[in-house]
């Protein structure tokens, strides 16, 4: 994962942070290493915060859920935001304004229905033995080596293998995808360099060409498709009697490949990290393996892999007592909502038995993550097998955090088996 490591300059103490001056495009030096104290101050003192660029930063659970629940007022369409950012006609613009997550009904309703073909209960159950086999193979290698980088050797490999299996991407091409995904998703960060823009545009073009060839090949040789493959299912599925155009199809596949691994990778890395930082919770899980599902939820709540979602108002509205005009862009800080003490008692405590746990890490409402059941399944299988098999797992060096805002990413997490 190639993002640069956290800046090593001295970091001013969070106590000297004035929430009124917060700027999401220029966050305080310590923010990416540990955003939560900054978010807590914002939530208390400036919960509907006007960013210097005129957008708003939301940190309260109730305000964020209100936005998710009202898609008529709060649009996911990104054409207005991304035209100046990427330039209309740029490959990044085409991708990020076509994929299912960044469009509104009625188009969203049709495309979302197609995704349901890929995520039926039957499709998911068919993936379970494959996920178990993959996890065990990675853990065998860990046992032989005695140590591993959790990110590189486990958390990255498992989700990309699963989502590539689903789309029928051959094993030897999976590393290519990793670079493309990183470039395309990095382009969603609030601030970009020209090099990042260029890399993102190149990645979309190359990814589209790659998938087009794959689809052509799959259609010519349907016998090469695996039992769980969804590429041709998506291509041939119809919603309201309509098929996706080829451009729409390719962008949905790119989105699914990207959404399906980057986020799950971060969930797995953070899960291992938080458990190692809280050995009492490892002991609890060992004593009661039935806690595996609430544990996955708590990892997702505590370190939201996607920290920020966005919406834009289609009309004048009021949020948390603040009047907002039509055309206002809001940054919904999921990471802050997930630690809101009004929604989660003792919100900064990592508690694998927490119930209820209505975190917002998969979003909410019509765009709620289509792959959430798959991500949860991957998490449950991976954590259950790792902690059952390696009771003496230890951290070899402090986790290396990436310098990104939207995706909460660990770059390196070295552990030993004994």
State yes or no: is 5 an active-site residue.
no
Query: Which C-beta is closer to ligand HEM: that of 41 or that of 295?
Result: 295
Burial status of residue 93 (CB atoms within 10 A of its CB: 0-12, 13-18, 19 or more): buried
The interface region with ligand HEM, picked from 23-31, 340-348, 360-368, 401-409 by CB under 6 A, is 360-368
Should residue 367 be labelled a site residue for ligand HEM when binding is judged by CB under 6 A? yes
Please state the closest distance from residue 306 (CB atom) to ligand HEM, in A: 5
State yes or no: is 269 an active-site residue.
no
State yes or no: is 259 an active-site residue.
yes
Please give the Cα distance from 186 to 106 (Å, whole number).
28
Should residue 369 be labelled a site residue for ligand HEM when binding is judged by CB under 6 A? yes
Query: Which C-beta is closer to ligand HEM: that of 370 or that of 382?
Result: 370
For helices 292-302 and 372-389, give the axis angle rounded to 10 degrees: 110
Q: What does the per-residue mask of binding to ligand HEM show for 217-256, with x meaning CB under 6 A? A: ---------------------------------------x
Q: Which of residues 22-61 bind ligand HEM (CB under 6 A)?
A: none
Residue 207's closest CA among 177, 246, 247?
177
Query: Which C-beta is closer to ligand HEM: that of 1 or that of 41?
Result: 1
Please give the Cα distance from 178 to 12 (Å, whole number).
35
Please give the Cα distance from 51 to 67 (Å, whole number).
18
Q: What is the DSSP string of 80-122?
A: HHHHHHH-TTSHHHHHHTTSGGG--TTHHHHHHHHHHHHT-HH
The interface region with ligand HEM, picked from 37-45, 232-240, 362-370, 409-417 by CB under 6 A, is 362-370
Indicate which residue of 94, 229, 262, 411 is catalytic: 262
Indicate which residue of 161, 229, 248, 378 is catalytic: 378
Should residue 375 be labelled a site residue for ligand HEM when binding is judged by CB under 6 A? yes
Q: How far is CA 305 from the centre of its chain?
A: 5
Should residue 264 be labelled a site residue for ligand HEM when binding is judged by CB under 6 A? yes
Please give the Cα distance from 250 to 238 (Å, whole number).
15
State the residue number with the nearest CB to ligand HEM. 371
Should residue 190 be labelled a site residue for ligand HEM when binding is judged by CB under 6 A? no
Q: How many residues bind ligand HEM (CB under 6 A)?
A: 24
Handedness of CA 52, 407, 167, 92 (dihedral sign): positive
Please state the closest distance from residue 177 (CB atom) to ligand HEM, in A: 13
Q: Which of 48, 305, 354, 409 binds ligand HEM (CB under 6 A)?
A: 305
The interface region with ligand HEM, picked from 89-97, 131-139, 303-311, 403-411 by CB under 6 A, is 303-311
CB atoms inside a 10 Å sphere around CB 338 = 25
Please state the closest distance from residue 208 (CB atom) to ligand HEM, in A: 18
Query: Which C-beta is closer to ligand HEM: that of 201 or that of 263?
Result: 263
Should residue 309 be labelled a site residue for ligand HEM when binding is judged by CB under 6 A? yes
Please give the Cα distance from 180 to 186 (Å, whole number).
10
Please state the closest distance from residue 29 (CB atom) to ligand HEM, in A: 26
State yes or no: is 264 an active-site residue.
yes
Q: Please tell me whether the peptide bond between 356 and the residue prior to it is cis, using omega within 30 degrees of 0.
A: yes
Should residue 112 be labelled a site residue for ligand HEM when binding is judged by CB under 6 A? yes
User: In the chain, helix, strand, coil percent, each to 5?
Assistant: 55, 10, 35
Give 90's Cβ-side CA count (13 Å radius).
Answer: 20
Please give the Cα distance from 83 to 111 (Å, whole number).
22
Please state the closest distance from residue 175 (CB atom) to ligand HEM, in A: 18
Please give the Cα distance from 414 to 147 (Å, whole number).
7
Please name the residue that has the structure tokens 């990793």: 178
Should residue 260 be labelled a site residue for ligand HEM when binding is judged by CB under 6 A? yes
Q: What does the per-residue mask of binding to ligand HEM show for 265-284, with x meaning CB under 6 A? A: --x-----------------
Residues 6 or more apart from 408 whose CB is under 8 A from it? 35, 266, 270, 303, 304, 305, 306, 307, 335
Cβ distance 326 to 313 under 8 Å? Answer: yes
Indicate which residue of 264, 269, 313, 361 is catalytic: 264
The interface region with ligand HEM, picked from 130-138, 336-344, 364-372, 393-401 by CB under 6 A, is 364-372
* Termini Cα distance of the chain: 26
Please give the Cα distance from 98 to 86 (Å, whole number).
14
Q: Which of 82, 86, 115, 302 binds ligand HEM (CB under 6 A)?
A: 115
Please give the Cα distance from 314 to 294 (Å, whole number).
37
Binding site for ligand HEM (CB under 6 A): 76, 100-101, 112, 115, 163, 256, 259-260, 263-264, 267, 305-306, 309, 361-363, 367, 369-371, 374-375
Q: Among all residues, which ones are annotated catalytic? A: 259, 262, 264, 369, 378
């Amino acid at each position: 994962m190639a993002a640069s490591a956290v800046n090593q300059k001295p970091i001013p103490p969070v106590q000297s942070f004035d929430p009124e001056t917060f700027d999401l495009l220029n966050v305080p030096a310590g923010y990416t290493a540990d955003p939560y104290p900054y978010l807590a101050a914002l939530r208390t003192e400036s919960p509907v915060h006007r960013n210097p660029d005129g957008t708003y930063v939301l940190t309260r659970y109730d305000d964020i859920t209100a936005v998710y629940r009202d898609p008529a007022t709060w649009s996911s369409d990104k054409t207005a935001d991304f035209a100046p950012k990427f330039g209309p006609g740029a490959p990044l613009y085409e991708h990020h304004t076509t994929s299912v997550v960044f469009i509104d009904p009625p188009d969203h309703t049709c495309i979302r229905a197609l995704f349901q073909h890929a995520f039926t209960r039957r499709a998911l159950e068919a993936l379970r033995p494959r996920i178990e086999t993959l996890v065990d193979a990675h853990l065998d290698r860990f046992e032989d080596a005695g140590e591993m980088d959790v990110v590189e050797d486990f958390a990255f490999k498992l989700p990309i293998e699963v989502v590539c299996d689903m789309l029928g991407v051959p094993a030897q091409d999976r590393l290519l995808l990793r670079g493309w995904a990183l470039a395309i998703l990095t382009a969603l960060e609030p601030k970009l360099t020209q090099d990042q823009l260029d890399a993102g545009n190149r990645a979309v073009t190359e990814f589209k060409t790659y998938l087009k060839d794959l689809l052509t090949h799959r259609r010519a040789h349907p016998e090469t498709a695996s039992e769980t493959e969804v590429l041709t299912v998506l291509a041939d599925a119809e919603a309201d009697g309509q098929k996706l155009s080829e451009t729409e199809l390719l962008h949905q596949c790119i989105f699914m490949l990207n959404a399906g691994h980057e986020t799950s990778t971060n969930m797995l890395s953070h899960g291992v990290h938080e458990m190692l930082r809280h050995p009492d919770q490892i002991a609890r899980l060992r004593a009661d393996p039935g806690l595996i599902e609430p544990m996955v939820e708590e990892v997702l709540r505590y370190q939201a892999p996607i920290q920020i979602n966005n919406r834009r108002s289609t009309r004048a509205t009021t949020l948390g007592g603040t009047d907002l005009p039509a055309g206002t862009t809001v940054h919904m800080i999921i990471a802050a909502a997930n630690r809101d003490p009004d929604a989660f008692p003792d919100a900064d405590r990592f508690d694998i038995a927490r119930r209820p746990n209505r975190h917002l890490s998969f979003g909410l409402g019509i765009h709620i993550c289509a792959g959430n059941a798959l991500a949860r399944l991957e998490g449950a299988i991976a954590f259950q097998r790792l902690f059952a098999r390696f009771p003496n797992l230890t951290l070899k060096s402090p986790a290396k955090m990436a310098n990104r805002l939207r995706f909460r990413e660990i770059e390196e997490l070295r552990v030993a088996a004994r």
